[in-house]
């Protein structure tokens, strides 16, 4: 019987969930769907010995990277706190590069993108990684078009997933590509997860994200933006609010938030719109006005650019997932 060989690469201090999300999802696809071409999952690492994860738990390696040969259907490099040592290991990186040339698809989960980047496999490609590690990866590999926002990104036959459980979204996408949406839905139900978050869905919300910036001036401006998305939030107006020049405010935002004030404002307004779309029944024009977009078309463009889905489709999808929970418009 033909098989789809799915190789998951681990190393010392890899993240257990990065590995398990992939392997468990593929195992369920075999069990539930009994596809004509099943998956054969192989956990490979340097030397083929046990992989001690960063949680302290050990996984038995099934194959050594050194002896592994293609053809391979999909090569997935896991992330974890040991990714920097892995990316600096010339032998490991060399074998990943070699095996990628023998694979139909190549992917990384979380900080595994650092290993793909070290192997030159992300050069000139759009890619993502865990938002916490994105600035360092972008600085180390300027040849990579890094976007820390989406859950996962596909650029040609190379896929990169954001952080940890985004491996579920990526693997469900593989199952759907290989065997159709019905099997992906069945696997998602058994995993008790959404079928798939849109690939371009933001990794985190402003309302549940990282702690406020340490700089008191930046924190003041951020709090003002999130509380008043419908106000004048031009960089000049925000600079006047805290008594600095627009240039100085831009420098502070770039230093502490990794982006200019204008980009942060657009992100905040889009997040606010997502909240209103799921918590009210306000018409689209009123959602746009409340969030500072001016018109429904401006909202649509910003929302689609950030989430990869239109506001109306997003609202409809959320309503289908949680029927009967709509909040009356206010």
Pairing relation of β-strands 58-59 and 51-52?
antiparallel
Query: Do the Cβ atoms of 259 and 305 come closer than 8 Å?
Result: no
Query: Do the Cβ atoms of 287 and 299 come closer than 8 Å?
Result: yes
Query: Do the Cβ atoms of 295 and 288 come closer than 8 Å?
Result: yes
Read off the tokens for 184: 């992906």
Distance CA 142, CA 121 (A): 13
Instruction: Give the H or E element holding residue 307.
Output: helix 296-307
Comparing CA positions, the residue from 78, 86, 83 lying closest to residue 59 is: 78
Query: Do the Cβ atoms of 282 and 290 come closer than 8 Å?
Result: yes
Calculate helix-pair angle for 246-257, 261-279, nearest 10 degrees.
Answer: 60
The residue from 21, 53, 110, 291 that is catalytic is: 110
Distance CA 269, CA 286 (A): 13
Distance CA 201, CA 178 (A): 22
The yes-or-no answer on residue 291 being catalytic is no
Catalytic residues: 110
């Amino acid at each position: 019987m033909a098989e789809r060989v799915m190789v998951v690469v681990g190393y010392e201090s890899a993240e257990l969930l990065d590995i398990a999300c992939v392997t468990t999802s593929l195992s369920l696809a075999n069990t539930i769907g009994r596809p004509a071409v099943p998956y054969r999952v192989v956990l490979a690492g340097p030397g083929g010995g046990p992989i001690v994860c960063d949680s302290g738990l050990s996984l038995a390696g099934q194959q050594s990277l050194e002896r592994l040969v293609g053809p391979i259907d999909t090569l997935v490099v896991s992330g974890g706190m040991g990714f920097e040592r892995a990316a600096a290991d010339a032998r490991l990186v060399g074998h990943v590069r070699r095996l990628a040339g023998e694979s139909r698809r190549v992917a990384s989960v979380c900080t595994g993108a650092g290993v793909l980047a070290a192997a030159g496999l992300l050069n000139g490609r759009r890619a993502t990684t865990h938002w916490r590690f994105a600035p360092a990866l972008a600085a180390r590999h300027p040849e990579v078009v890094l976007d820390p926002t989406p859950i996962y990104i596909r650029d040609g036959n190379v896929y990169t997933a954001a952080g940890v459980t985004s491996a579920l979204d990526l693997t469900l996408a593989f199952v759907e590509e290989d065997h159709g949406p019905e099997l992906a839905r069945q696997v998602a139900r058994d995993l008790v997860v959404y079928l798939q978050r849109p690939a371009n869905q933001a990794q985190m919300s402003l309302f549940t994200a990282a702690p406020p910036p340490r700089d008191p001036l930046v924190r003041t401006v951020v709090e003002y933006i999130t509380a008043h998305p419908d106000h004048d939030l031009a960089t000049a107006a925000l600079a006047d609010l805290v008594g600095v020049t627009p240039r100085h405010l831009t420098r502070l935002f770039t230093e502490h938030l990794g982006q200019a004030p204008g980009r942060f404002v657009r992100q905040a307004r889009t997040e606010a719109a997502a909240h209103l779309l799921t918590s009210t029944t306000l018409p689209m024009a009123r959602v746009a006005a409340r969030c500072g977009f001016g018109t429904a078309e401006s909202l649509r463009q910003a929302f689609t650019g950030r989430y990869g889905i239109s506001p109306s489709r997003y609202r409809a999808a959320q309503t289908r997932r949680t029927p009967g929970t709509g909040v009356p418009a206010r």
